[in-house]
Amino acid sequence: MNSYQLSDRLHTVASFVPKGSSIADIGSDHAYLPCYLGHQLQIDKAVAGEVAEGPFQSAKRQVKEDSLEHLIEVRKGSGLEVIEAGEVDVITIAGMGGPLIAQILEEGKDRLPGVKRLILQPNINAISIRDWFSLNGWTITDEAILEEDGKIYEVLVAEPETDRMEMTFQDRLLGPVLSKEKSHVFQKKWKQEYNQWEKILNQIERAGDTSHLKDKKKELLEKMKLVSEVLNWEKR
Ligand code: SAM
């Protein structure tokens, strides 16, 4: 991967950035995503935010090497603190866990007015982000799922909500768009998760009967039922 040739994962994130956007890429690492979008003439401006010194330096180096300093500013800081409210219209956050992405959004809420689109790629627990969307007035407008190097990734696209739309537990766990499309990769992901839950359930059944374990078992059974219904498994 480099700033001309992204991984499929980051390429999918890039594909949701509207032409002419001002973006902030938070946790940018090498700044490959903003640099790629700059080369493609897809963006008018970008802020690449990084909290860690090493990746911050790599991002600065990459932007300089690609002669994109007129378009991309690399800023050091945590989460959305690197931008002012109203400064960008798209925020991308990729390659972190869902809970960390949700935390970045929650802590940076005051920087979100004026943002028209969030493009988020959690490595795990996308449900944390969908929960945050439902609590904070964002609607999922698109989703993608892909497999690369043996790992499955989800990409969530959200825009400020115009009408209040409740997401069901099914929508928040599986994704409102992905669970309608039911792609091959989606089915593979949830078969893997189901198998994992089945193993945990067996361990719980052997471990005893505390109220915590009972709650955990109930939660797992609920998720397993949901997944088998959505994937139309007759019996497993
Ligand atoms: N976004 C790139 C991608 O998807 O390939 C890099 C992903 S890398 C695994 C995660 C990056 O996020 C790291 O460089 C890390 O330093 C940075 N990071 C983690 N927490 C952050 C935060 N709160 N604010 C800004 N950057 C953060």
* 22 and 98 share one domain: yes
User: Could you tell me the distance, in angstroms and rounded to a whole number, from the CA of residue 41 to the centre of ligand 1?
Assistant: 24
What are the tens digits of pLDDT across the range 146-174?
999 999 999 999 999 988 778 999 999 99
Residue 3 has pLDDT above 90, yes or no: no
Output the CA–CA distances (angstroms, integers) from residue 202 to 190, 216, 217, in the order listed: 18, 12, 10
Question: Mean pLDDT across the stretch 32-55?
Answer: 98
Residue 48 Cβ inside 6 Å of ligand 1? The answer reads no
* Count of structural domains, the chain: 2
Among 28, 92, 106, 121, say which to mutate for ligand 1: greatest number of ligand atoms within 8 Å of CB: 28
Give the CA dihedral 13, 16, 22, 26, nearest 10 degrees. -20
Q: Which amino acid type is present at position 27? A: G
Instruction: Establish if 3 belongs to a structural domain.
Output: no
Please compute, for residue 230, the number of CA atoms within 13 A of its CA located in the half-sphere on the CB side: 27
* 144 and 94 share one domain: yes
Q: Which amino acid type is present at position 139? A: T
Q: Which amino acid type is present at position 114? A: G
* 94 and 198 share one domain: no
Provide the 10 A C-beta neighbour count for residue 12: 20
In 3-state terms the chain splits into helix, strand, coil percentages (rounded to 5) of: 45, 20, 30
* 109 and 158 share one domain: yes
Per-residue pLDDT at 162: 85
Residue where the block lists tokens 């972190």: 96
Instruction: Establish if 235 belongs to a structural domain.
Output: no
Per-residue pLDDT at 199: 95
Residue 219: domain span: 185-230
* 99 and 196 share one domain: no
Which protein residue has the closest C-alpha to ligand 1 atom 27? Answer: 27
Q: Which amino acid type is present at position 46? A: A
